[in-house]
């Protein structure tokens, strides 16, 4: 089984959408996506600087729109009807649309609400996230807890993301677990922790106006890595996941159990394929960073491994 992975926040870089706008229909899609998200995604994906697109209210719809554009282009080139789908954190909104649980328009409207609500929650206390790479997992988890932080993302492949107050993250960096490095992430809050609980009501209210459909593809949740077959249940998990840790490690274990033969990461790609190379050793991967990467993704999907 080929798994299509949709990246999360922090994967965006200045100007990353520029080459995509050269594709026929891309400007029209991003124009509609901008209307649904309520922000100018074309400007933010081409000319806005790193500080601007770090803003949670901008980054989240920008990443989801980019993933959906890459999904459209890939779908136009090769049949991916049998592919499994999963998203990391905000990438679950792109995954929901790709799997048919939500329309693209609804996914973009909801993620815009999520981004604004999480930005508001993050503004109340100066918080952030840092990746702890390497070390013994039990030691890393203990050290994160010792500094009063939360293991917000358990990504597998020797990477756990700590979240909490910036001062505590700085203390963790100065007291890194043995054999590990602490790397600050380009996000503006302690996502997937109790610090985000105040963002849940706004997203929950927004979901009441959308209709969910059961997924057309195998679809896994960050909640515990299990496969979800109910569209309504997946939307419920999208809401609660705001304040609960991401278990990407459990998702990858489920990919293995399902017989993964290759992983394709949609734009703006790189982080999830990097983790997969460490945690799913021997599994072919393709990161679709620009349209030039689409041919490699098609080859992986249609090749012997598929």
Residue 15 has pLDDT above 80, yes or no: yes
Quick one: 85 and 14 in the same domain?
yes
Query: Which residue of the set 88, 147, 192, 217 is catalytic?
Result: 192
Other Cβ atoms within 10 Å of 209 Cβ, number: 9
Query: Residues 171-204: pLDDT tens digits?
Result: 999 999 999 999 998 787 899 999 999 999 999 9
Query: Which residue of the set 11, 48, 89, 223 is catalytic?
Result: 89
Residue 116 has pLDDT above 50, yes or no: yes
Quick one: 27 and 171 in the same domain?
no
Residue 5 has pLDDT above 60, yes or no: yes
Query: What CATH number does residue 45 fall under?
Result: 3.40.366.10
pLDDT of residue 192: 96
Query: Residues 74-85: pLDDT tens digits?
Result: 999 999 999 999
Quick one: 178 and 288 in the same domain?
no
pLDDT of residue 277: 94
Quick one: 166 and 261 in the same domain?
no
Query: Residues 159-168: pLDDT tens digits?
Result: 999 999 999 9
Average pLDDT in the 7-19 region? 95
Quick one: 47 and 133 in the same domain?
no
Place of tokens 């705001």: 242
Domain boundary among 146, 161, 184: 184
pLDDT of residue 187: 81
Domain boundary among 184, 208, 231: 184
Quick one: 106 and 224 in the same domain?
yes
Rounded to whole angstroms, how far apart are CA atoms 44 and 164? 27
Quick one: 105 and 152 in the same domain?
no
Annotated active-site residue 226? The verdict is: no
pLDDT of residue 152: 97
Query: What CATH number does residue 152 fall under?
Result: 3.30.70.250
pLDDT of residue 188: 79
Q: What is the secondary structure of 210-267 as a DSSP string?
A: S-----SS-BB-TTTS-B---HHHHHHHHHHGGGS-B-HHHHHHHHHHTT--EEEEPS
Domain boundary among 184, 202, 229: 184
Please tell me the least confidently modeled range out of 130-134, 198-202, 301-305. Answer: 301-305
Rounded to whole angstroms, how far apart are CA atoms 264 and 288? 7
Quick one: 28 and 90 in the same domain?
yes
Quick one: 112 and 211 in the same domain?
yes
Average pLDDT in the 88-112 region? 98
Pick the closest to residue 204 from 156, 155, 160, 237 (CA basis). 237
- How far, rounded to the nearest angstrom, does the alpha carbon of residue 128 sit from its chain's CA centroid? 17
Q: What is the secondary structure of 24-83 as a DSSP string?
A: TTHHHHHHHHHHHHTS-HHHHHHT--HHHHHSHHHHHHHHHHHHHHHHHHHHHHS--TT-
Mapping DSSP onto H, E and C, the string for 122-139 reads HCCCCEEEEEEEECCHHH
Paired sense of beta strands 262-265 and 285-287, if any: parallel
Place of tokens 């932080």: 149
Phi-psi label, residue 51: left if phi above 0, alpha if psi -120 to 50, beta otherwise: alpha
pTM of the model: 0.95
Rounded to whole angstroms, how far apart are CA atoms 87 and 111? 13
Residue 79: partners with Cβ closer than 8 Å, 6 or more residues away: none
Residue 142: partners with Cβ closer than 8 Å, 6 or more residues away: 177
Quick one: 34 and 115 in the same domain?
yes
Task: Please give the mean pLDDT across all residues of the chain.
Answer: 96
Quick one: 140 and 82 in the same domain?
no
Q: Is the peptide bond before 248 cis (omega within 30 degrees of 0)?
A: no
Annotated active-site residue 89? The verdict is: yes
The maximal CA–CA distance of the chain, rounded, in angstroms, is: 52
The boundaries of the domain holding residue 171 are: 127-184
Quick one: 283 and 259 in the same domain?
yes
Q: Count of domains in the chain?
A: 2
pLDDT of residue 305: 47
Average pLDDT in the 38-50 region? 97
Per cent of the chain over pLDDT 70 is: 99
pLDDT of residue 306: 41
């Amino acid at each position: 089984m080929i798994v299509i992975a949709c990246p999360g926040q922090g994967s965006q870089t200045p100007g990353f959408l520029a080459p995509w706008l050269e594709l026929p229909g891309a400007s029209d899609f991003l124009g509609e996506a901008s209307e649904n998200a309520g922000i100018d995604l074309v400007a933010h994906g081409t000319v806005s600087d790193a500080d601007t697109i770090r803003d949670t209210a901008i980054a989240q719809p920008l990443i989801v729109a980019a993933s959906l554009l890459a999904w459209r282009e890939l779908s136009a080139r090769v049949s991916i009807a049998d592919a499994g789908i999963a998203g990391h954190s905000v990438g679950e909104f792109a995954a929901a649309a790709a799997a048919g649980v939500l329309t693209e328009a609804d996914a973009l409207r909801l993620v815009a609400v999520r981004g604004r609500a999480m930005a508001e929650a993050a503004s109340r206390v100066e918080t952030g996230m840092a990746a702890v790479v390497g070390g013994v997992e039990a030691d890393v988890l203990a050290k994160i807890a010792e500094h009063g932080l939360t293991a917000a993302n358990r990504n597998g492949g020797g990477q756990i993301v700590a979240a909490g107050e910036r001062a505590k993250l700085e203390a963790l960096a100065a007291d890194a677990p043995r054999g590990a490095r602490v790397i600050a992430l380009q996000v503006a809050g302690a996502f997937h922790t109790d610090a985000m609980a105040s963002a849940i009501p706004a997203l929950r209210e927004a979901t009441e106006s959308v209709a969910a459909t059961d997924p057309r593809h195998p679809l896994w949740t960050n909640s515990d890595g299990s496969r979800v077959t109910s569209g309504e249940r997946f939307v419920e998990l999208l809401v609660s996941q705001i304040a609960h840790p991401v278990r990407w490690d459990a998702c990858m274990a489920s990919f293995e159990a399902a017989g993964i033969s290759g992983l394709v990461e949609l734009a703006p790609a790189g982080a999830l394929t990097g983790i997969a190379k460490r945690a799913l050793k021997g599994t072919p991967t393709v990161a679709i960073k620009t349209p030039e990467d689409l041919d490699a993704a098609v080859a992986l999907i249609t090749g012997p491994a598929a």
